[in-house]
Amino acid sequence: MFFMVNFCVDWNGYLFFHMWRYDMAVIEAKNIIVESTAQQASARAAEIFRTIVKEVTSQRDLCRVALSGGSTPRAAYHHLASQVMTDGLPWPMVEIFLGDERDVPQDDTESNFYMIQRILLDNTPVNWERVHPMRADAEDIEAAANEYEQIIRQRVPAGPGGVPQFDLIMLGLGADGHIASLFPDSPAIEERRRLVVASYVPVIRRHRMSLTFPLINAARNILLLVTGSDKAEVVQQIIQGDEPHLPASWISPRDGTVHIVLDADAARLLYSN
């Protein structure tokens, strides 16, 4: 295995690079942007979100996105809710789904939807009929996951292979390599048929609902935002290594683009060699 990296500076002065991993017959291409600070990385992720939404809605009526919880995406949502970002962004044309959810009521402070609603949705002119929270607190969480999958199949047009194709899925990254609620050693990461699953996560002793890789990897754009020095090792492993035990390493869109936005702390080990 070896790597080729092209470093570039775009017209805004942002450092980014393209990395190709040659591993047998497989070539993975990722667009990786490194910002100096976590705040700048979050702002950059928000700008990518904005650009994709405007591009999609200039071509058709709706842009369909999935948003994840977590402290890192939260910072990007703050930027998206700012006036400079909201002005000119056609929020009523954005259909919003969740990438994952905890098994708590939607008005619980631990709920991903509660965080997204409070920070982003309540501060933007979204069409609430096009906002689809996960019912992870349902008495039958498996049935709720199946119902959410059916909503996605009904609302999101199918792409190649007949799988619904989101225009954008936004993700954070845990220090253990998890994305959405797909944790290491969870059977959910190996799911190949269902698009939404409910599973018990022993490491946190909670049930979670999550999109699965067949759906994530069908997206046109996957935006992975990672900040903090505690993520540096896992960032190095998923970008430069062959680490199948890390869920994030399973990100491999069939017909889409991965945008990885890092701050300098999260990217520090990429330059160690």
Q: Is residue 2 part of a domain?
A: no
Q: Is residue 180 part of a domain?
A: yes
Q: Is residue 209 part of a domain?
A: yes
Q: Is residue 12 part of a domain?
A: no
Q: Is residue 160 part of a domain?
A: yes
pLDDT in tens, 116-174: 999 999 999 999 999 999 999 999 999 999 999 999 999 999 998 899 999 999 999 99
Q: Which domain holds residue 164?
A: 67-268
Q: Is the pLDDT score of 29 beyond 60?
A: no
Q: Please check whether residue 248 is in contact with residue 212, taking contact to mean a CB–CB distance below 8 angstroms.
A: no
Kindly indicate the confidence band of residue 7, based on its pLDDT and cuts at 50, 70 and 90. Answer: very low
The pLDDT value given to residue 200 = 84
Q: Is residue 81 part of a domain?
A: yes
CA distance 176 to 146: 27
Domain harbouring 144, CATH code: 3.40.50.1360
pTM for this entry: 0.88
Q: Is residue 135 part of a domain?
A: yes
How many structural domains does the chain have? 1
CA distance 187 to 159: 25
pLDDT in tens, 39-61: 999 999 999 999 999 999 999 99
Q: Please check whether residue 158 is in contact with residue 165, taking contact to mean a CB–CB distance below 8 angstroms.
A: yes
Kindly indicate the confidence band of residue 272, based on its pLDDT and cuts at 50, 70 and 90. Answer: low
The pLDDT value given to residue 273 = 56
CA distance 262 to 33: 6
Kindly indicate the confidence band of residue 12, based on its pLDDT and cuts at 50, 70 and 90. Answer: very low
Q: Can you list the alpha helix ranges (DSSP code H) found in the chain?
A: 38-57, 71-81, 83-86, 112-119, 141-155, 213-216, 232-240, 264-267
Cα distance between the two ends of the chain = 15
The pLDDT value given to residue 1 = 33
Q: Is residue 259 part of a domain?
A: yes
Mean pLDDT of the chain: 88
